[in-house]
A = this chain, B = another copy of it.
């Protein structure tokens, strides 16, 4: 709903758009008047979290009257052991989005330059704009983010932050560790690389670069929302140099992390067998989605994530029609925002029944889109 702007807002707040980065499927469901039959648009894990994480949520419910530990000490210790680093290198937050917001707030002030790829994560851009930063975008190289151009642009504009996701969303592509290590070694002085590894648990071995804990050229973002299946619990973490990690304490909401979510994340992390099962299911599902795409004359892109980006072979207008027709059929999927990637739709992996529903709906959705040409 449009409102007149409150005149007490800061000039920066006055200048910000009223749009939001993502509309949730629940909003679409309310508009449709009925729920989606398949929820395959947000790269959630329909395979669910470890049963141990669910048990932790249930058993911790009785203690929910207590505030959370603002230090997330137990979770940070568990993560430190998992990564074999000191907990001083780890900050936990209410999802990567919150950590990105705090990071941008710490580093970016009015007019500071930030570099990202055109079509990369909109919520990062939202935070940069929200703190007065100036975004500079470089194109992807095909379906991959382009480390060399990101670095070159950062040098050109004197960027304080560079954002890259590896694996990438929305294209599903990835670079190998050596490529990322070359990129890290080229980060200009005074600049920080934000390496978003939300999908790293679903990528081939050898995708994650080795980064020394004290390396102050890079901060990594991880999440329990994807492979670990805890998107609703809002739990992410950053790994970085201790002085930068400590700086989060100057701006973050110390009591923002849900108490039960901390317990669930600890339980999820401890169940690496479950993670391995999910990785196997995701790999099989990627193959299924690729086969469905090919069976409909479309081109699935290789994926190192829990989704498959499907090239619909025409332009954004066509892909958008496919998306809308799928939505009308009860299939929630999303698509890249920016050309030329918006020739694609992006379909999350999920349980067989939901994938079957997508497979059943796709031919008619394509026919519908073609009929509108």
- Complex Cα distance A296/B260, Å? 38
- B109 x A73 contact (CB < 8 A): no
- A20 x B97 contact (CB < 8 A): no
Taking CB as reference atom, which chain B residue is nearest A244? B6
Query: Could you give, for residues 46-74 of chain A, a 1 whenever the CB lies within 8 Å of some chain B CB and a 0 otherwise?
Result: 11110001100110111111111111010
Partner of A22 from the list B22, B48, B61, B254 (CB cut-off 8 Å) is B254
- A247 x B66 contact (CB < 8 A): no
User: Is A107 positioned at the interface, with any CB of B under 8 Å from its CB?
Assistant: yes
The oligomer's copy count stands at 2
Known: A11-B109, A13-B106, A259-B232. A1 touches B64 (CB 8 A): no
- Complex Cα distance A247/B70, Å? 28
Partner of A251 from the list B13, B68, B112 (CB cut-off 8 Å) is B13
- A39 x B10 contact (CB < 8 A): no
- Complex Cα distance A101/B252, Å? 9
Known: A6-B243, A160-B8, A190-B7. A230 touches B65 (CB 8 A): yes
Query: Interface majority SS on A: helix, strand, loop or mixed?
Result: loop
User: Is A327 positioned at the interface, with any CB of B under 8 Å from its CB?
Assistant: no
User: Is A246 positioned at the interface, with any CB of B under 8 Å from its CB?
Assistant: yes
User: Is A336 positioned at the interface, with any CB of B under 8 Å from its CB?
Assistant: no
Interface hit among A23-31, A316-324, A357-365: A23-31
- Complex Cα distance A342/B181, Å? 54
Interface size class of A (residues with CB under 8 A): 35 or more
User: Is A166 positioned at the interface, with any CB of B under 8 Å from its CB?
Assistant: no
User: Is A367 positioned at the interface, with any CB of B under 8 Å from its CB?
Assistant: no
Query: Could you give, for residues 222-266 of chain A, a 1 whenever the CB lies within 8 Å of some chain B CB and a 0 otherwise?
Result: 000100011111100000011110110111011111111100100
Query: Which residues of A66-89 have CB atoms within 8 Å of chain B's CB atoms?
Result: 66-71, 73, 88
Chain B residue contacts of A47, Cβ below 8 A:
65
- Complex Cα distance A232/B3, Å? 33
- B258 x A232 contact (CB < 8 A): yes
User: Is A216 positioned at the interface, with any CB of B under 8 Å from its CB?
Assistant: yes
- B17 x A68 contact (CB < 8 A): no
- A70 x B20 contact (CB < 8 A): yes
User: Is A284 positioned at the interface, with any CB of B under 8 Å from its CB?
Assistant: no
- Min distance, Cβ A166 to any Cβ of chain B, angstroms: 21
User: Is A42 positioned at the interface, with any CB of B under 8 Å from its CB?
Assistant: yes
- B234 x A13 contact (CB < 8 A): no
- A225 x B67 contact (CB < 8 A): yes
Chain B residue contacts of A95, Cβ below 8 A:
253, 255-256
- A65 x B258 contact (CB < 8 A): no
Of A60, A70, A190, most B-chain CB atoms within 10 Å: A70
A residues engaging B (CB < 8 A)?
Answer: 1, 3-13, 16-18, 20-24, 26-27, 30, 39, 42, 44-49, 53-54, 57-58, 60-71, 73, 88, 94-95, 97-98, 101, 105-109, 112, 130, 160, 190-192, 216, 225, 229-234, 241-244, 246-247, 249-251, 253-261, 264
10 pairs from A and B in contact (CB 8 Å cutoff): A8-B107, A9-B106, A10-B107, A16-B250, A22-B254, A26-B69, A44-B66, A46-B65, A98-B256, A232-B258
